[in-house]
Chain A
Amino acid sequence: MMLSDFPLWPEQASTVAPGVDALMTFMCIVCGGVSVLTFFVIFVLAIKYRRTPENQLAQDYEPPKALEAAWIIIPFLIFMFMFVWGSWLYFRIQRVPENAIDIYATGKQWMWKFQHASGQREINTLHVPVGRPIRITMASEDVIHSLFFPVFRVKADVLPNRYKTMWFQATKTGRFHIFCAEYCGTLHSGMIGWVEVMEPVDYQKWLAGGAEGSLASQGEKLFQKYACNTCHTNDATGRGPVLLGLYGTTVTLANNATVTADENYIRESILNPQAKIVKGFAPVMPTFQGQVSEDDLLKLVSYVHSLGTQKTAVVPVETPSSKNTSAGSPLKPGAGIPPQQDKGATP
């Protein structure tokens, strides 16, 4: 049996993984070193000054007070360094690159459903190309889950009724673990799968192997099915706002607040249209809560997204406001931001 049979860390399979491992190594060396040093000092002192018949009482001696200052200030500075490095790494993990491929995920007890933009659907397996950034937009159908790829060193909780995103860029092909990392009930430990990282050519082949049409085109069919087009026409005569070119733009609401038209906004407008009425329109849109499944929601959102002309320019960076529809402060009176948005109920 080789030492490689007992790995201490998973494979590094993403652009971020080496950075995470580097920080880990640094922490191990520094913290381990200081700890070992402390234990050594304790060991030495406990032996050297052990109680003997000649050494019943401690010597009346106090180490210099400057020592106290030293071991307050030096650890603090080291901690600050750790904080900065950890935060910098965190920014890298949060910031989605511009040309990311979109994948949509749904977590539900107890499986992962993935949908590719071109329409391919998978359960518990995720095929991705190597060397391209992948952005996963995800929601849960029931309880909180967490999507975890150990080899990519990324995870994010998956919440009900709210979209979250995470991203990674795989750097090697292969088959790697997917785990659910937030306890979600009976088969929490069974909510696992595999991510298959493939060469781009193979990925294209795989994609082409059968789909019902892209997510967006399926969404268009639903758009007709639910008669959305009767109010959302392509000109100003409709009862509802024009959706062509909407995605990514800033919308002014009836109460003069503004909002960015992103996935969460579109989703909310379908499920709870009264929450944000666009300025100049009557609040007549019915709610589709209970009629549209999570899967169908993804398709509709994908369709409206595809109607937009400003795909990524407005939402390039994975900051708190990117999955947030409010351009203003959540405390602005009348902003009426429902807790679906990242900033609304949870500062």
Chain B
Amino acid sequence: MSDITLGGPPPAPHAEEHHEHHHPFLQHHFEDLGQQHEASTLGMWVFLSTEILFFGGVLAAYWIYRVTYPEAWAIGAAQQIWWLGAINTIVLIISSLTMALAVRNAQLGRRMGTVYMLIATLFFGSIFLGVKMYEYTKHWQEGLFPGAAFHWNEVPALAPKVQLFMTFYWCLTGLHALHMVIGAGLLIWFIWRAWKGHFGPEYYGPVEIMGLYWHFVDIVWIFLFPFLYLIHGAHHG
């Protein structure tokens, strides 16, 4: 308990301790790949917890107004094309499946399998974004973008509150879509890395972390879909 041994005679400059096999992707400040993997994974989980708080803030505000203006919220949800949202939900869940398979392939060292699954994930993610673009365009034309461009007026008495709903719709789905776009960009980079053969049984951490991020984005959507598309309530009249 009282033995203090710190360092020995310092080595000559430039001399560093190397491990038996210095993996090309082992960063110098980690002792080994295991520590690097654990640190990176923990880092991604921690980052996702900040994302939960981030989305959580606007979701809390959404809920407060939902409870305050239930009719307007129901009408706002009725303006969405629910089956497009449903398709998007299924598409995203499938993309999570392909992402999980990509991680599995990386763990098993299957280079092309990893590449194909990542491409598939990107494909389904792009479908999602394409559908979203279509919805957004339609909303814009219908006058459902809040602010000066808002000219939806089917229920004049509730128009300001429906505008508030649409504010949350655009905020929530917009932030989500932004996260998906970033995810898509990351996927492109990972497809390239996988194709170059960077990943294998002893180094698949990055793919796993990408998978965590992608699954998180999927889970956010699984909340957004019922919150924004599936509210049923008494309509006016």
Contacts and interface: CB of A to CB of B under 8 A. Distances in A.
* A/B contact in complex, CB under 8 angstroms: yes
Interface of A: 255, 274, 283, 287, 330-331, 333-334, 336-339, 344-345
Contacts of B234: 255, 334
Nearest to A272: B157
B61 to A, nearest CB: 9
A147 B64 CA distance: 28
A274 B70 contact: no
Contacts of A345: 64-65, 68
A331 B64 CA distance: 9
Nearest to A334: B70
B68 A336 contact: yes
B69 A336 contact: yes
A274 B70 CA distance: 13
Contacts of A274: 157-158
Main secondary structure of the interface of A (DSSP, over half): loop
B71 interface: yes
Given A330-B68, A337-B68, A345-B68, 9 more contacts: A255-B234, A274-B158, A283-B157, A334-B234, A336-B70, A336-B71, A338-B68, A339-B68, A345-B65
A338 B69 contact: yes
Contacts of A330: 67-68
B70 A331 contact: no
Interface of B: 64-65, 67-71, 157-158, 234
11 contacts: A274-B158, A283-B157, A331-B67, A334-B70, A334-B234, A336-B69, A336-B70, A336-B71, A337-B68, A338-B69, A345-B64
Contacts of B69: 336, 338
B70 A333 contact: yes
Contacts of B65: 345
A320 B139 CA distance: 40
A344 B157 CA distance: 20
A344 B158 CA distance: 18
B2 to A, nearest CB: 13
A256 B163 CA distance: 26
Choose among B68, B71, B157, B158 the residue with the greatest number of A CB atoms under 10 Å from its CB.
Answer: B68
A325 to B, nearest CB: 13
Contacts of B68: 330, 336-339, 344-345
A133 B204 CA distance: 74
Nearest to A283: B157
Nearest to A340: B68
B1 to A, nearest CB: 14
Contacts of B157: 274, 283, 287
The 9 closest A-B pairs by CB, nearest first: A274-B157, A345-B64, A345-B68, A344-B68, A339-B68, A331-B67, A337-B68, A334-B70, A336-B70
A60 B158 CA distance: 74
Nearest to A286: B157
Contacts of B158: 274
Contacts of A333: 70
Nearest to B61: A345
Nearest to A347: B64
Contacts of A336: 68-71
A302 to B, nearest CB: 27
A79 B117 CA distance: 60
Contacts of A331: 67
A344 B161 CA distance: 15
A338 to B, nearest CB: 6
A288 to B, nearest CB: 13
A287 B157 CA distance: 9
A333 B70 CA distance: 8
Contacts of A338: 68-69
B57 to A, nearest CB: 15
A345 B60 CA distance: 11
A337 B69 CA distance: 7
Contacts of A283: 157
A338 B65 CA distance: 9
B87 to A, nearest CB: 30
Contacts of B70: 333-334, 336
A275 B109 CA distance: 62
Nearest to B67: A331
A273 to B, nearest CB: 8
A344 B67 CA distance: 9
B201 to A, nearest CB: 51
Contacts of A255: 234
Nearest to B233: A334
Contacts of A339: 68
Choose among A274, A330, A331 the residue with the greatest number of B CB atoms under 10 Å from its CB.
Answer: A274
A255 B65 CA distance: 18
Nearest to B158: A274
B157 to A, nearest CB: 4
A17 B12 CA distance: 76
B168 to A, nearest CB: 14
Nearest to A338: B68
Contacts of A334: 70, 234
A330 B70 CA distance: 12
Contacts of B64: 345
Contacts of A287: 157
